Amino acid sequence: MPDDTKTIRRPEASELSKAWETTCTALLDNHQEAMTHWLLVLRSLADQVSSLAATRLQLTMEAYSALAACRSPEELIDCNRRIASKMTEHCSEEIAKLSQMTMRTVLTRTEPDAH
C-alpha cells in the first residue's frame, strides 16, 4: 500500500528565530515611530496651550488697566464692549488653530505614507 501522505517541511530553529526577530523588530520600530509622533504632538499642543494662556493673561491685564482708566459709565460700557470683542476674536483664532492642529495630527497618522 503506497504512502499517500506528503512530508511537510518544518522550518529549522534558525529560520523560526530569524522570522521572530524580523517580526519583533518591525513591531518595535512601528511602536517607536508612534510614540515619537505622539510625543511631538503633545509637545506641539502644550506649546500652543502655553501660548494661549500667556496671551490670555496679557489680554486680561490690558483689560483691567483699560477698565481702571475709565472715568464715566459710558466709557466703561464702551471699554467693556471693546474688551469682549477682542477676547472673543482671540478665542475664535485659538479655536481655529487648535482645530487645524488636531486635523493635521489626524491626517498625518492616517496617510499610508506617513512616517
Yes or no: say if 43 and 37 are a contact pair by the CB < 8 Å rule. Answer: no
Predicted local distance difference test score (pLDDT) of residue 2: 56
Residues in the chain predicted with pLDDT less than 50, given as ranges, are 114-115
- 4, 96, 98 from 89: Cα distances, Å: 81, 11, 14
Residue 115 grid cell: 512616517
pLDDT given for residue 79 in this prediction: 95
- Position 105 scores a pLDDT of 77
Cell of 33: 515611530
Give pLDDT, residue 115.
Answer: 47
Nearest to 58 by CA among 66, 69, 48: 66
pLDDT computed for residue 74 by the predictor: 96
Cell numbers placing 73:
459709565
